[in-house]
Amino acid sequence: MSETITSPKIAWSVLEVSQATGLSAPFLRREIKRGVLPTKRFGRRVLILDSALQAYLSKGSEGNKQRG
């Protein structure tokens, strides 16, 4: 029997992040443009490192507390 081993994702496209989080792609692009969500560029391709995404999502919940 063959087992498939999947490695954890190390980088995401904007569309993949949108689908995984429920945040819209335009919103994510605005966050990238503002410098809030860091990315890596490879030619035209924009990738969000998993570590950057985790940090962004952690800060997001704290940011909502500051607004109130």
Work out the pLDDT band at 68, boundaries 50, 70, 90: very low
| Neighbour tally for 31: CB within 10 Å | 19
Rounded to an integer, the average pLDDT of 50-59 is 96
Q: pTM for the whole thing? A: 0.78
Those residues whose C-beta lies under 8 Å from the C-beta of residue 50, and which sit 6 or more positions away, are 8, 9, 10, 11, 12
pLDDT > 80? residue 32: yes
Rounded to an integer, the average pLDDT of 24-46 is 97
Mean pLDDT, all residues of the chain: 89
Rounded to an integer, the average pLDDT of 14-36 is 97
